[in-house]
Structure 1
Amino acid sequence: MGKEEQVEEREVLDSIFPEEITDISDTEYRISIKLDIPDDDGNDEDEASEPPTLILHVRYPDDYPDEAPILDLSPPQNAIPYPYFAVSADKERLLKGLEDAIQENMGMAMVFTLVTTLKEEAEQLIADRKAAAAKEREEAILAAEREENKKFHGTPVTPETFMKWREGFLREMEENRQREEEERLAELKKAKVKEPIKLTGKQLWERGLAKGDEAEYDDNIPTEQVERLKVEA
């Protein structure tokens, strides 16, 4: 019964995967599975990389499908590395992801279901990693923007920074007040100290302070001296 079902399933798989399936023996073959990766994040590195392909090795035990098939995964020869996927690193995880599908389909031909499940799991794995990488890039950009914006923002006001500013402000105001007071006093002292007023000879003559021809020849007699002469006279 198992042998007949194996042959029948193999014929169906030939019609589904005419280019992708390769026989190794009557009970063993491999299927090439090319993943579909949408270019939806605008990442040039992704666009330059070919979508990855993985090879599913299938071997029927004698009691298949009442017994689970023996599976293995490998990359194609000379496979081009893909940024978010590597068969050698992800094989264990992907094969473990097939265990539920195997148990659910026990007793029935299941290879097509396993291929579909494997393809979806691998594509979802890549999508999750691409999303994580995109989020990391976005966070890095936002962090850089925050650092740049710090240049245009003042220091946050806290009670400590406010008290420090207040002390400096009051000290500066007091220094300005003292300086202005000193300047005002200096101006007052300067205003009190004036040079004696000098009268011309004509002014001395008109005020009766000149004697003889004194006004004619000496126009620079200080007022204080004249006053003194007037008192002595």
Structure 2
Amino acid sequence: MDYDEEKAQELELLQSMYPDELEITTPNEAYTLTLPLAQPPSTRTGTVPHADKLQSLVVHVKYTPTYPETPAEVVLEIVTTAAGEDDEEDESAEEAKKREESERQHGFAAVYLDESALDFLTAQAEQEAEDNLGFPAIFAITSSLKEHCDSLLQSKLSALEQAYTDKLLAEEEREQAKFRGTLVNRDNFYEWRKRFRAEMAAAAATAAAGAKIDTEEEERRKRPSGREIFEKGLEGSKKDDDAAGDPPAPTPVPAVAVA
């Protein structure tokens, strides 16, 4: 097998497939492929959340001397850049507005891959290289990696959508619960009746105590004071004296003749 010929043919194919994404660092030996990662569309709204950052999967490839009979060295890197970072400064305010509108529409912002995805992607690249051992495999590797990246982003988006849907359902359930009240069963009915009777008994006792106090207060108000009794006693004595008048004159005793 002519290893150099195999490498040259594969590189020529990759240059035709990725004219803007491929950059040769060492002729017929090393190059990089920069694969842009697109935001997946929302399954709920059918639209794509606004992304204020751009991500790419960078595949660093270095051929081994006996490639493709031995796998090429593949190193992966996730590169994140701000969207429109070369624009004017006031563009950031516009990006913030777009992000807020997207969050209101979808309930969340865009999704991105983090460094934790690299271990998984590296394992997939190694498996793809092993499956294609003996054949030029870089195109198969990059195609597989791109599919896995799209799948990871879609899974992240689906998880956010599910969490947002659960949040909406929970809020709706809380609103409905305000009008539905508590379902009555045997246990909570007896518990309610016990509390109700206790409350009624307490209210009756309070009312009876209040009525007793009112009665005692009324009787106290009707009871004459000591001064009133004293004044009424003097007035009664005067009336008795007036009614009695002067004492009757003494009855004259008739004279008796002495013989």
> For the superposition of Structure 1 and Structure 2, which TM-score range results when normalised by the shorter chain?
0.5 to 0.7
Distance 1:89 1:83, change over 3 A: farther
- Residue 116 of structure 2: SS of its match in structure 1? helix
* CA–CA distance in structure 1, aligned partners of residues 47 and 175 of structure 2: 26
Matches of residues 36-47 of structure 1 in structure 2 within 5 Å? Answer: 36-40=38-42, 41-42=44-45, 46-47=49-50
The alignment status of 1:70 with 2:97, answered yes or no, reads: no
What letter matches 1:64 in structure 2?
Y
The alignment-based identity, stated in percent, is 24
Distance 1:87 1:163, change over 3 A: closer
Tell whether the 8 Å contact from 2:23 to 2:32 is kept in structure 1 after alignment: yes
Tell whether the 8 Å contact from 1:39 to 1:47 is kept in structure 2 after alignment: no
Of residues 145, 159, 182 in structure 1, which corresponds to 2:172?
A: 145
Q: TM-score, with normalisation over the residues of structure 2? A: 0.59
Shift of 1:154: 1.9
What are the Cα deviations for residues 53-91 of structure 1, in whole angstroms up to 9, with x where unaligned?
A: 221110111111111111112244x61389432353321
Tell whether the 8 Å contact from 1:55 to 1:74 is kept in structure 2 after alignment: yes
Other-structure match for 1:28:
30
* CA–CA distance in structure 2, aligned partners of residues 135 and 58 of structure 1: 38
Comparing 123-132 with 140-149, greater Cα deviation is found at 140-149
Other-structure match for 2:126:
99
Other-structure match for 1:12:
13
Other-structure match for 1:86:
113
Other-structure match for 1:54:
57
Distance 1:69 1:39, change over 3 A: same
* CA–CA distance in structure 1, aligned partners of residues 192 and 167 of structure 2: 35
Give the RMSD, CA atoms, in angstroms: 3.0
Other-structure match for 1:184:
none
Other-structure match for 2:228:
none
Tell whether the 8 Å contact from 1:54 to 1:87 is kept in structure 2 after alignment: no
What letter matches 1:134 in structure 2?
E
Tell whether the 8 Å contact from 1:54 to 1:75 is kept in structure 2 after alignment: yes
* CA–CA distance in structure 1, aligned partners of residues 147 and 156 of structure 2: 14
Shift of 1:124: 0.4
Of residues 167, 180, 184 in structure 2, which corresponds to 1:157?
A: 184
Q: TM-score, with normalisation over the residues of structure 1? A: 0.65
Matches of residues 149-188 of structure 1 in structure 2 within 5 Å? Answer: 149-167=176-194
Distance 1:149 1:143, change over 3 A: same
* CA–CA distance in structure 1, aligned partners of residues 139 and 48 of structure 2: 32
Larger relative contact order (CA 8 Å, sep ≥ 6): 2
* CA–CA distance in structure 2, aligned partners of residues 168 and 53 of structure 1: 66
Structure 1 runs of 4+ aligned residues shifted over 6 Å read 168-172
* CA–CA distance in structure 1, aligned partners of residues 19 and 153 of structure 2: 26
- Residue 191 of structure 2: SS of its match in structure 1? helix
